[in-house]
Structure 1
């Protein structure tokens, strides 16, 4: 009896067949909660209940885990798209509606994957970044082809723009913590994305007086301090906060690294200054709108113009601040307050135009709209469009549900 029991106790434990996926899911949760650079292999192993060597049997390093999570997420989007669009029993409009419904559910249920794609993909190796771009192009290509079946008047470039904007609507789930019932949230996402896909793009950049005033409120400076802020903003956008040094910032601004410290005591202080400059520009735009707008509808269009001009020349640091662990809790809280107040102003105006929206619903629609601008102005393949700002303004107005 004892011999039999001993043999049973030594029987090796069978590994789960999906261990790699389980480890990736644990890592994704940690990356989202703490940020990629604040999580180590030992943290992931401990959270998953395995040893470090056991984790290395599945992944070469932490970067490989991030690549697996991000690329698997894109693959799932591609597979979901194919399943929806390959349903030959449905006409094209119903196929697209089915696709939007599936993507809305995915974006609400799996915010962690979308969050890592948005904030952490710059930490991938150059090879993996190229692969992300390639697979993203495959995804947008599938959407674009389906959209042009519905709207044959669109050329490929216009269809691509609208598809990127629609993808941003679903990506907006990662930039806020507002919560409403899942069914209602998915309905809002679907309605916004559908409206974006059916946008008639602007053919001329004509602006109202309010929009002109809002655009003119965006200013540029030429002091050494502002040159450093501009250089830092660009580098933070391209590489991420952790992979930029003070020497890099100084070199981009044309001075030595140690000279940067004459203006800013730390890299975190530079990040904070850059985020505060964005907040100041947005506030100037808001004030210009308040002075000139004759209605809530006109005020929202003025805010759209101001936001596009500001974000076109700035990194999305206000939202990204939650990913920078070097910021103090006080600084992080201040930036969050500024962003919350700014979104609240949009929400107040939007609910005046669309009174059936609740406060939380209005806030979500505003986040969808702002995320479109944040993404589109920083998408390289769209940057060459000569009328992009006017087109983007039209898309954002449609996303808000403003009357034509």
Structure 2
């Protein structure tokens, strides 16, 4: 038997997924609470049982994915004994995110400024921590490379991987996955190899 708590959690997830798709397609200001409610089969005001505002929905959408990426990356890095294998696992994590969530990437790029300031700071902090997980691993592979360079390289690779809202439908999913992985790997290897010269 499904509990009321589980139903509520499922409904919140359903609302967040629908809102992300709508925000990506129409922009934050082009979507009303009524639009989000209609997408999940309820009236707009019924959403207030789950979220206090449209801004809260946007904030929770971006906080949830930022938290998930950071927590999963931290687990990968903590478990990893070999830095090269750990980097491959981080690549797998981000490639899967980029292929599975192009709408979230679009929403983050366009709408972060509409998130209330306290939540925006939390999102930015989680994102910085996520980057530092990558920098930690890259520093093991390239100990002579300055952290600032490794951080810049990580951001550049994220830019490549997060191109899926524009390129994700051009190739079959597995071909796109391999293309993204190979390009990101090559970019990171160039930084690691340059630092060993």
Structure 2 unmatched ranges of 5 or more: 1-8
Give, in whole Å, the separation in 2 of the partners of 1:282 and 1:228: 20
Contact 1:373-1:396 at 8 Å conserved across structures: yes
State the TM-score, normalized to the length of structure 2: 0.80
Give, in whole Å, the separation in 1 of the partners of 2:79 and 2:35: 42
Q: Which has the larger radius of gyration?
A: 1
Q: Which has the higher helix share?
A: 2
Alignment of 1:200-211 (within 5 A): none
Partner of 2:19: 232
Contact 1:250-1:256 at 8 Å conserved across structures: yes
Shift of 1:346: 0.9
Paired residues, what number?
181
Q: 1:349 aligns with which of 124, 130, 137?
A: 137
Partner of 1:323: 113
Contact 1:278-1:310 at 8 Å conserved across structures: no
Partner of 2:57: 270
Structure 1 unmatched ranges of 5 or more: 1-221
- Bigger relative contact order, structure 1 or 2 (CA pairs below 8 A, ≥6 apart): 2
Contact 1:236-1:244 at 8 Å conserved across structures: yes
- Give CA-to-partner distance per residue, 1:374-404, whole Å, 9 cap, x none: 1135535425344222321222111212789
Contact 1:376-1:382 at 8 Å conserved across structures: no
State the TM-score, normalized to the length of structure 1: 0.41
Contact 2:63-2:122 at 8 Å conserved across structures: no
- Give CA-to-partner distance per residue, 1:306-334, whole Å, 9 cap, x none: 1122233331244545432xx22211111
Contact 1:281-1:310 at 8 Å conserved across structures: no
Q: Secondary structure at the match of 2:19?
A: helix
Q: Secondary structure at the match of 1:355?
A: coil
The verdict on how the C-alpha distance between 1:312 and 1:253 changes in structure 2, with shifts beyond 3 A counting, is farther
Partner of 1:301: 88
**Does 2:181 correspond to 1:393?**
yes
